[in-house]
A and B are shown apart, each in its own frame.
Chain A
Amino acid sequence: MRATSVHRALAIGFLSCMVTSAASAQRSGASKSATRPDSRRTVACTVNSSDAWVKRQAVWFDESKHDWSNDSLRTALLAAAGLQAPLKAPVQNGVRVDGQAHTFGPTADALTQDLMKLAATRGSTWPTRSVVGPTGTHAVYLLASRDTALGRAALHRMMEAGPDESPAADVATLEDQLRLGWGRKQLYGTQFEIDASGKVRLKAMEDSSHADLRREGAGLPPFQLGICLAGTSK
């Protein structure tokens, strides 16, 4: 699928359906600190460029300064991941549905092997933002999300590099995917599946009542917006 989840999100988003947080029923009724997101609010199923999480991604993925150090690796990553720079925010909306495949370039397998070797080399320079630019880091995420072994190594490197060097929304989405593969529950609510009747379902999730706190920290849309964007069935 060349049209990535971003495009899908935008397409669905403009349907402008309104959803109300299911999490509200789970909550005790006592309000959290005013500094925390309120998952009880009604959320419009629309992605707006003025949304805080979109603006945050727009800033992170801004490539106007051209401030990365390894152009050749970046070019190879973009070709392997089937990406063209610059990317338009939101780049990562935190909706990954099983079976909806991204279209990679013909060099994807070879570059996956190269990244595996890089990850296994102690002290090697991992392709982070300052090395391959924002689009290059998203290419790393896409390649890591199609290979469990690379995913595990990449997640460790991305977490180690920190939010200035690795896009937090990609890190969160990759962690969710890997956790489910390890038999654990996802943390952010980014992973969906299509059931036998063809309906989109959220996969098993841990502590959904604090999902918005985690998602805000990672620069993902509010939980209920993510649910809506995924097109889940009620």
Chain B
Amino acid sequence: MMQQLGPSVIAVFLASFSLAAQTPAAKQISFAAEIVGREPKTFAPMVGSWVISREGNRNVLFIDGRVWKRGQPAGGLADKARELYGARNEEFIESIKAFAYYPIAVYKGIDDFQNGEISVRFQMLGGALDRCAGILFNLKPNGDYLTVRYNGTEDNVVLWTFNKGVRKFVNRAPTLVPLELGTWHTLKISIHGTSLKSWLDDKPMHDFTLSEPVSGKIGVWSKTDSMVEFDDFQFTVAK
């Protein structure tokens, strides 16, 4: 049969088989099995009020900025930090308290994301001060992290770094993209070594070189009183 197919067809077949073997499967996090009105089981809310909510016929993860209080971490922070970082949780807690301006929920299913893609769908519903939806990554046991976020009050996508409780601007995507509230959009990042790229609804936003490779937990991020729904959190781990 091999002779009948010819060498070029075989080459294509082998190449595609090889590609399939190398392409890592995307992991998609669904909230379908979660309980509406409760905190998510797949994510650990560290700051802010994160609850499963019903939107249309789907369960989504909702950051409810109406109950945001300055400097107040999420309930049960100590237990959640212990679950994520075991004996190293105290340093994490101290740092997270300093970050309490920025709600975060950490995905429980991966400890060390280094290379690959992360994407999430989001829908902004409101927020008098901020309307922010972001992807959290490079979260360290000491609470340091990076985030690429869309801000609906500024219409931009920005990379921020948080070190020892201090937020610093890193890079702003050059394109302003006004988005309407109540509409779904997709934020995506790709990390390979120190290369960071981002997209908003498949439009390229960032093409940036980080100061060092990424290594840490991942999740979703928001800011102050934002009211945002998240859905279809996906990631692909590349070697």
- Assuming the contacts A33-B36, A210-B126, asked whether A216 and B66 have C-beta atoms less than 8 A apart, the reply is yes
Q: Is B62 an interface residue (CB 8 A)?
A: yes
Within 8 Å of chain A (Cβ to Cβ): is B64?
Answer: yes
A234 interface contact, C-beta 8 A:
no
Chain B CB within 10 A, most for which of A187, A209, A218: A187
Given A172-B128, A217-B65, answer yes or no on A210-B53 (Cβ-Cβ < 8 Å): no
Of A32, A34, A163, A217, the residue contacting B126 (CB under 8 A) is A217
**Please, which residue of chain A has its CB at the minimum distance from the CB of B57?**
A30
Task: Give complex CA distance A164, B101 in Å.
Answer: 14
CB distance from B130 to the nearest CB of A (A): 8
**B125, chain A: closest CB distance, angstroms:** 5
Minimum CB–CB distance from A54 to chain B (whole Å) comes to 17
B204 is an interface residue with CB less than 8 A from chain A: no
Bitwise interface map of A from 187 to 215 toward B, beta carbon under 8 Å scored 1, else 0: 10000000000000000001101100110
Does the CB pair B56–A30 fall under 8 Å? yes
Tell me, yes or no, whether A86 is within 8 Å of chain B by CB: no
**Does residue B187 face the partner (Cβ distance < 8 Å to A)?**
no
A172 surroundings in chain B (CB, below 8 A) = 128
In the complex, the answer to whether A206 meets B224 with C-beta atoms within 8 Å is no
In the complex, chain B residues 36-95 whose Cβ is within 8 Å of any chain A Cβ: 36-37, 51-57, 62, 64-66, 70
Contact in complex: A33, B52 (CB < 8 Å): yes
B53, B128, B182, B225: the one contacting A206 at CB < 8 Å is: B182
Given contacts A187-B181, A216-B66, contact A32 B129 (CB under 8 A): no
Cβ of B207 within 8 Å of any chain A Cβ, yes or no, is no
- How far does the Cβ of A35 sit from chain B's closest Cβ, in whole Å? 6
Per the bound structure, the CA–CA distance linking A185 and B183 in Å amounts to 14
Q: Which residues in A have their C-beta under 8 angstroms from that of B118?
A: none
Please report whether the interface of chain A is mostly helix, strand, loop or mixed according to DSSP. Answer: loop
Q: For the complex, what is the distance from the CA of A30 to the CA of B178, rounded to whole Å?
A: 28
Q: Which residues of B contact A213 (CB under 8 A)?
A: 66, 125-126, 227
A36, A163, A175: the one within 8 Å of B53 (CB):
A36
A216→B128 CA distance, assembly (Å): 10
Q: Which residues of A contact B183 (CB under 8 A)?
A: 207
Q: Is B125 within 8 A of A162, CB to CB?
A: no
Contacts of A33 in B (CB 8 A): 36-37, 51-54, 62
Once the chains bind, are A35 and B51 in contact (CB under 8 Å)? yes
CA distance A175 to B127 in the complex (A): 11
Q: What is the CA–CA distance of A164 and B70 in the complex, to the nearest angstrom?
A: 9
Q: Are A209 and B182 in contact (CB under 8 A)?
A: yes
Q: Any chain B CB within 8 A of the CB of A171?
A: yes
A34 near B37: Cβ-Cβ < 8 Å: yes
Closest CB in chain A relative to B109 CB, distance in Å: 24
The reply to whether B129 and A159 contact each other, CB–CB distance below 8 Å, is yes
Q: Are B51 and A214 in contact (CB under 8 A)?
A: no
Rounded to whole Å, the gap between the CB of B4 and the closest CB of chain A is 56
- Enumerate the 5 nearest inter-chain pairs by beta-carbon distance, A residue then B residue, closest first: A207-B182, A214-B126, A207-B181, A33-B53, A217-B66
- Would you mind naming 13 contact pairs between A and B with Cβ atoms under 8 Å apart? A35-B64, A36-B53, A159-B130, A162-B129, A163-B225, A171-B129, A172-B128, A185-B180, A206-B181, A209-B182, A210-B125, A210-B227, A214-B127
A residues with a Cβ closer than 8 A to B are 28, 30-36, 159, 162-164, 168, 171-172, 175, 184-185, 187, 206-207, 209-210, 213-214, 216-218
